[in-house]
Amino acid sequence: MEILKDEFGPEYVINIYDPELKMEGFLVIDNTVLGPGKGGIRMTPNVTAEEVFRLARTMTFKNALADLPFGGAKAGIIWKGGTPELKKKFVQSFAKAVKLLTPKKYIAAPDVQTGEQEMQWFVEATGDWRSATGKPANYCMKAFGKTGEKCGIPHEYGSTGFGVAKTAETAAEILGINMNGARVAIHGFGNVGTFAYKFLTQMGAKVIALADAETTIFQESGFDHEVLEKIIKDKKTLKDYPYGQKISAEKFWEVPTDILIPASVTNVINNSNKDKIKTKMIVEAGNIPMSEEIEKEFFKKGVWVVPDFIANAGGVISSYAEYRGYNPKRMMDTIDKKITKNVRIILKKSVSENKNPRDVGMEIAVNRITKKQARY
């Protein structure tokens, strides 16, 4: 896929290379009409400028739809693995290279293989507290002109997973799916998947299938919550879960559900498995878990797909809360209010007009951006 150039952007496409470290990275600032470009830094072996652009464009519309004063951006660093010391050097080399653009044009955040520690490294290298969100909770600064401190709000608090669960709960209510006992499958059991599991279980849903990178488990009666919570707390993986039926990765997609949550990698739902899926609703917890063409196919078949830029907006709403200096409770309350409001607007319009939720969401997001553009 080539980088699209249109009325929205991208404003900056920057290739970064550190010849000493052999660090190579990309920053795409897509659109800053609503505010500084906001988006995470992913560190994977095969990340490309094109992939970063796709993600930056998603952030443009995600932030507009969440009604946040942020534009869209994303960054990527080619990371084939190494020591924590080397990773720190890579992150800080990248941070120094984009320093002139932060935070007026770009604000970093966690993404694949980056978390609160990497965000602290980034901020230390730029020398500006505001240049990244998702920093450690014990990494604080004195609030200027006020008593007290502003502290980081790491995504490890579960903001994205909480937002996914609230999305599922709100959408289920509108679509007539009883959340109490609803059969749920979650693909991906990292930060987003584990918290989505936790909050959905608290809402009364029954999670019957889980998958991480190595293990796929089906348990008709629902997972043993106490055992799974201990596995999560001890930072173990699903292979350590002693119950249920271990099934192949391909069989995961054949499990009949009420709600399916892809919370893993890009394009995980594709031509090889799309026709095996039997569900009423898909909540896109991960970024771009399927192509828009496949989303349209599901809609034609009567399967409602709540797209990524609506469903996983909890993370960027958390970023906004940290940027404003909120505490974690106020952050969660803000996610609850914004996610619930936006999902209601989009799903109700989708149902009443029989339109694909992505199309409805895009109309609202584009309208917010173009209205602001028209003022300048």
> What residues are annotated to the active site?
74
b/e string for 302-313 if b means 16 or more Cβ within 10 A?
ebbbbbbbbbbb
How many of the other CB atoms lie within 10 Å of CB of 368?
A: 17
- 312 forms beta bridges with none
Instruction: Please check whether residue 223 is in contact with residue 238, taking contact to mean a CB–CB distance below 8 angstroms.
Output: no
Question: Minimal CA–CA distance to 265: which of 44, 108, 117?
Answer: 44
How far apart are the C-alpha atoms of 331 and 318, rounded to whole Å?
A: 6
How far apart are the C-alpha atoms of 96 and 73, rounded to whole Å?
A: 17
Question: Minimal CA–CA distance to 285: which of 252, 267, 310, 317?
Answer: 310
Q: Which residue has the tokens 């709600």?
A: 259
Q: What angle do CA 154, 159, 160 make, to 5 degrees?
A: 115
